[in-house]
Amino acid sequence: MNYNNKKFRTFSTSENSEVTNEVIFHYKQRDNIVSCTYNGGTIVSGHLLGTVDEDGLINMHYHQYNSNNELMTGICTSTPEILADGRIRLYEKWQWTNGDQSEGESILEEVI
């Protein structure tokens, strides 16, 4: 699976998340390295960097700057599903690595 030039939007997320459906994630991939920039809603600027395996599973670290002037960091694992219309849905399990260090889950869907 290749995530290069794919865009995703939040479909659902845990209460302790900062992302909303206003956030657009712009993915890039080179070999097994995945990167992403994102913003929208209360997120001024966000970045992620990770690796993707042969099944499309992404293990990543992320950091984002929010409208409260806070830099937030975390880790995430994203598991892909191919939808009937060919788009990708990502099931994410994540944890903040600063702040309250709570865990959460999100679902992202590819925007075409």
pLDDT at 10: 94
pTM of the model: 0.94
pLDDT at 108: 97
Residues of the chain with pLDDT > 90, as a percent, come to 93
| pLDDT per position as a tens digit, 36-84 | 999 999 999 999 999 999 999 999 999 999 999 999 999 999 999 999 9
All structural domains of the chain, each given as residue ranges with its CATH number in brackets, are 7-111 (2.40.128.30)
CA distance 105 to 18: 12
Residues 6+ apart with CB under 8 A from 23: 9, 10, 38, 39, 40, 41, 43, 46
